[in-house]
């Protein structure tokens, strides 16, 4: 069988992450084909050549369209800034390539819809890079929820917080401009929403408040400029099946570095998880003698597939980048027509629709239904 030819557009952090995954996926999993790293595109020829050598690609180009036109490329990783996703992903799909595109799909909902249309028209595999759902711990939480280990879920809370916008004297840059989107909602909400979708299904109705902790920020050239969007957002939600939820996101939350804290309450127990300690979760089951009931801290272990493909001993820990390797293998399975767990463009669009509804609910100061 012919090796799958890989093209990579973009070599920022996510580009590097994809490259690491393409390099490692066969060694880790064994049960997939070793992909051939064919073509890498960057903004200029020099950088492309340098990154191509670093990441182990055969060819490098400053013209991403050349990469897409390359007949040796079968699948394209799109890891460029968000505003380029639509154009590149659509071109790749139209050229008959599979696409692995970083989230979110596109700043504009219309562009995201066009991406979905292109995917449907192409018949190719088109998946989004929602890697948090690939964590063996998260997968096992899904197993537990599905088995009824905590009964019927009735309430969830999820927080995503970091502090890269927490300094009020940090310079104004595009993230604070209206063109940069709603703020934390764009930046963050899709991540916890991908987890909620993975575990429970889609959001159906929302009401939102947003937080603008600092009215203005200094400009590098001097003076100050009004902040145009919101570094925090809080949302009351109803999910499929009548589950009530609260979503809180904040990129100005001093002390939080990579927090995605999930609390799931059911009729027989509860589960909590925090991405800052991604190799463990806590499970409470209302079983047995009351004197010994409590949250069990469960460390990631080989029995939580596919942790075992990385490490044969419990408690040793996967890293954030390892999740991308798992995602890459799921993509390869999808391309091979095997069952896989990925976020399709259709699912991703629905997640982004929720985000837009949340923004609308803020501006309308009331509940908004997310149409399906």
73-to-25, 53, 96 alpha-carbon distances in Å: 18, 17, 10
Give the interface segment with a copy of itself, choosing from 62-70, 174-182, 281-289, 344-352 (CB under 8 A). 281-289
* CA distance from start to end of the chain: 40
Among 49, 84, 284, 360, binds a copy of itself (CB under 8 A): 284
Among 49, 211, 228, 341, binds a copy of itself (CB under 8 A): 211
Which residues inside 332-371 make contact with a copy of itself, applying CB under 8 A? 365-367
Which residues inside 111-170 make contact with a copy of itself, applying CB under 8 A? 140, 144, 149-151, 154-155, 157, 159, 162-164, 166-168
Q: Please, which residue, 69 or 286, has the CB nearer to a copy of itself?
A: 286
Give the interface segment with a copy of itself, choosing from 1-9, 192-200, 216-224, 261-269 (CB under 8 A). 261-269
Q: How far apart are CA 316 and CA 158, in angstroms?
A: 26
Which residues inside 15-34 make contact with a copy of itself, applying CB under 8 A? 16, 19-20, 23-24, 26-28, 30, 34
Residues with Cβ within 8 Å of residue 247, at least 6 apart in sequence: 158, 159, 189, 192, 193, 233, 234, 235, 237, 358
CB atoms within 10 A of CB 338: 11
Q: Please, which residue, 3 or 341, has the CB nearer to a copy of itself?
A: 3
To a copy of itself, the closest distance from the beta carbon of 217 in angstroms equals 12
Q: How far apart are CA 99 and CA 179, in angstroms?
A: 26
128-to-23, 78, 101, 289 alpha-carbon distances in Å: 19, 9, 5, 45
Among 71, 123, 222, 255, binds a copy of itself (CB under 8 A): 255
Q: Please, which residue, 103 or 124, has the CB nearer to a copy of itself?
A: 103
Which residues inside 171-210 make contact with a copy of itself, applying CB under 8 A? 207-210
Q: How far apart are CA 107 and CA 103, in angstroms?
A: 10
CB atoms within 10 A of CB 318: 21
Q: Please, which residue, 201 or 315, has the CB nearer to a copy of itself?
A: 315
Backbone angles phi, psi at 171, to 5 degrees: -65, 150
Q: Is the dihedral of CA 346, 347, 350, 351 positive or negative?
A: negative
Among 65, 225, 277, 356, binds a copy of itself (CB under 8 A): 277
Does 58 sit near a copy of itself (CB under 8 A)? Answer: no
Among 142, 246, 341, 356, binds a copy of itself (CB under 8 A): 246
- The number of residues that bind a copy of itself (CB under 8 A) is 96
To a copy of itself, the closest distance from the beta carbon of 260 in angstroms equals 10
Q: How far apart are CA 303 and CA 297, in angstroms?
A: 15
């Amino acid at each position: 069988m012919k090796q799958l030819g890989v093209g990579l557009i973009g070599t920022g952090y996510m580009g590097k992450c994809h490259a690491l995954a393409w390099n490692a996926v066969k060694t880790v999993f064994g049960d997939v084909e070793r992909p051939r790293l064919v073509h890498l595109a960057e903004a200029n020829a020099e950088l492309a050549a340098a990154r191509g050598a670093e990441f182990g690609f055969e060819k490098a180009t400053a013209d991403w369209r050349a990469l897409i036109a390359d007949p040796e490329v079968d699948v394209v990783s799109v890891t460029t800034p968000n505003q380029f996703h639509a154009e590149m992903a659509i071109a790749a799909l139209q050229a008959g390539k599979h696409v692995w595109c970083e989230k979110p799909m596109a700043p504009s909902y219309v562009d995201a819809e066009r991406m979905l249309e292109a995917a449907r028209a192409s018949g190719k595999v088109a998946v989004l890079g929602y890697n948090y759902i690939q964590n063996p711990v998260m997968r096992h939480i899904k197993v537990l929820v599905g088995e009824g280990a905590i009964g019927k879920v009735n309430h969830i809370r999820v927080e995503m917080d970091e502090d890269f916008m927490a300094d009020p004297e940090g310079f104004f840059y595009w993230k604070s401009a209206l063109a940069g989107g709603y703020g934390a909602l764009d930046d963050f909400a899709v991540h916890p929403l991908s987890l909620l979708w993975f575990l429970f299904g889609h959001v159906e109705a929302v009401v939102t408040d947003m937080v603008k902790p600092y009215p203005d920020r200094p400009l590098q050239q001097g003076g100050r400029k009004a902040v145009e969007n919101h570094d925090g957002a809080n949302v009351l939600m109803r999910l499929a099946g009548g589950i009530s939820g609260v979503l809180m996101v904040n990129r100005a939350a001093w002390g939080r570095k990579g927090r995605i804290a999930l609390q799931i309450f059911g009729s027989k127990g509860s589960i909590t998880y925090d991405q800052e300690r991604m190799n463990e979760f806590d499970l409470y089951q209302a079983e047995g003698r009351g004197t010994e009931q409590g949250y069990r801290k469960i460390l990631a272990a080989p029995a939580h597939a596919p942790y075992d493909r990385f490490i044969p001993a419990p408690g040793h820990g996967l890293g954030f980048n390892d999740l991308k390797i798992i995602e890459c293998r799921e993509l390869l399975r999808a391309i091979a027509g095997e069952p896989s767990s990925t976020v399709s463009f259709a699912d991703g669009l629905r997640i982004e629709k929720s985000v837009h509804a949340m923004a609308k609910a803020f501006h309308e100061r009331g509940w908004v239904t997310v149409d399906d």
